[in-house]
Amino acid sequence: MPVVTTSLAERLQATMRGQVLAGVPLARYTSFRIGGPATLLASPADPEDLKRALAFARTEGLPVHVLGGGSNTLVRDGGFRGMAISLCAFQALERRGDTVAAGAGVRVSRLLAFCCRHGLAGLEILSGVPGTVGGAVWGNAGAWGGAAADALASVEIVLAAGQQCTLLRREIPFRYRASGLPAGSVVVQAVFALAPGDPAAIRRRISGYLVRRKVSQPVEFRSAGSIFKNPPGEYAGRLVEQVGLKGTRMGNAMISA
């Protein structure tokens, strides 16, 4: 490992409570399980830690990539010359009446299980969506005609310059598979407005969506979920099938049939 990389890690670690690693292969942090090393991998313990990491990256001229659950990230074999940030410590889950506050590092599947247990409906459409709450909000993840923004009440972010703020749903220009959140900002928490529901009925809806996903996607293989966005007025899956790309293989990569 280059001395300069080790030195960077040591300097950042001296300012942070969370862990800082140098030259760690990102393959273990992505759903594809491929990818070379990042110059730095920072795992902030809290928002203040995150601010320190972002400030350090800014000072050192390091590009930043937030990993989330690694389900929307393809890392080249040569790695990432910058700072990868893992929000795995942001695991808070709290019910507040008919709303749920979830840390950015909470897996979507864990959030759904929590909502089901507490009899809160409104997020079932995200069943089977890979990744974390932070990534789901940032990319406005969704399926079957619904999206994360539909139930969002507010989101707490740290801006690239280090300020922490809360944005209400109406202040965020969500669109198809995009949030329009400020460039370089990082989601630290999201609050979802839900409705009381019967846990058994919620569980049935979750199971139904999971079955539909299993039928339409190769969930047994390493993937990032859906790769192609639907163009206006069309379905990506239909276009892929129309041009004969289903099942196309190159090396160990394949477009699912």
What is the three-class DSSP state of 106?
A: coil
| 3-state class percentages of the chain: helix first, strand second, coil last, to nearest 5 | 30, 25, 40
Residue 22 pLDDT class (50, 70, 90 cuts): very high
pTM assigned to the model:
0.89
Over residues 227-232, mean pLDDT: 83
The per-residue pLDDT for 136 is 96
In the chain, what are the domain boundaries? 3-85, 93-196
With beta carbons less than 8 A apart as the criterion, state whether 209 and 217 touch. no
Query: Under 8 Å CB-to-CB from 117, ≥6 apart: which residues?
Result: 199
Q: Kindly state the tokens that stand for 214.
A: 């299993």
What's the rounded mean pLDDT across residues 83-111? 98
pLDDT confidence of residue 228 = 80
Dihedrals φ, ψ of 93, to 5°?
A: -135, 125
Instruction: Report the percent of the chain where pLDDT is more than 70.
Output: 97
pLDDT of 174 reads: 97
Q: Are 42 and 71 in contact (CB under 8 A)?
A: no
CATH class of the domain comprising 3-85: alpha beta
| pLDDT of 254 | 83
Return d(Cα 231, Cα 235) in angstroms, integer: 7
Residues 179 and 220 sit within 8 Å (Cβ to Cβ): no
Do domains 3-85 and 93-196 share one topology? The answer is: no
Which class is 93-196 in CATH? alpha beta
23-44 pLDDT, tens digit each: 999 999 998 899 999 999 999 9
Contact of 247 with 257, CB cutoff 8 Å: yes
